[in-house]
Amino acid sequence: MKGVEKAREEVVNFAHIVSREGLCFSTWGNLSCRPEKDRTVITPSGIPYEDLQPADMIVLNLDGVVEEGRWKPSTELPLHLEIYKAREDVKAIIHTHSKYATAFAVARREIAPATEEMAQLFGGSVPAAEYAFPGSQELAVHASRALGKSGFAVLLANHGTVCVGASLAEALLRARVIERSAEILLWSTLLGDPFLLSNGETSKLRDLFLKHYGQEE
């Protein structure tokens, strides 16, 4: 269970970061990771981020059966389980209520690639999933469907975002870039019609990111 113990600490550390950065607030939003194929560690329901400790995390299997934990898991547990079941590559999920991205979720409009970091990281738009009630299985199915087999994030209509990754660090970077891109798009709309990046330019930026970003080996 060493992986699970480390996962408890990681989820708490990242929960504190998303709260500090305003991506989530009060008790809204939630995080999880999957340290083992059939095991997930998720934040509890209704406890403020700043109070969270590793011992507060809930450990469950992918059928939702609690193995460890004294609290109720996040009410969005079905969302996390549905995505993990559909996507073996996903090892971490961060569900935020960040402001600017939620503005797009309220308008039920995708966030198009308008900045180079958005194009590099996502290689396209972040879609808006169909509306469903928070915490419902229907919401979980809509989100998982909109995410598809290779998506990195979706907007939940009138609600927030869901970002996935091979690690919590990857999911967090996506949550940050989505929020930043949503803010920039909104401001640029005030200045006139924003110029979005074409599909061709977006693909080139994505390739650049995948092949050449970072330090040379």
Catalytic residues: 76
For Zn ion, the closer of residues 121 and 139 by Cβ is: 139
Q: Which residue is nearest to Zn ion (CB)?
A: 160
Q: How far is the CB of 133 from Zn ion (least distance, A)?
A: 11
What is the distance in angstroms between the CA of the first residue and the CA of the last residue of the chain? Answer: 34
Q: What is the residue type of 7?
A: A
Q: How far is the CB of 76 from Zn ion (least distance, A)?
A: 6
Q: How far is the CB of 28 from Zn ion (least distance, A)?
A: 5
Compute the radius of gyration of the chain from its Cα atoms: 17
**Scanning residues 68 to 97, which ones bind Zn ion (CB under 5 A)?**
none
- What is the C-alpha to C-alpha distance for residues 4 and 106, in angstroms, rounded to an integer? 36
CB-nearer residue toward Zn ion: 78 or 160: 160
| Total residues at interface with Zn ion (CB under 5 A) | 1
**DSSP-assigned letters across all residues of 178-193:** HHHHHHHHHHHHHHSS
Least distance in Å: CB of 30 to Zn ion? 7
Q: How far is the CB of 183 from Zn ion (least distance, A)?
A: 19
Nearer to Zn ion, 113 or 160 (CB): 160
For residues 92 and 112, which CB has a smaller minimum distance to Zn ion in the complex? Answer: 92
Q: Which is nearer to Zn ion, 160 or 165 (CB)?
A: 160
Phi, psi dihedrals of residue 93, rounded to the nearest 5°: -135, 130
Query: Which residues, 116 to 175, sit near Zn ion by CB under 5 A?
Result: 160
Residues that bind Zn ion (CB under 5 A): 160
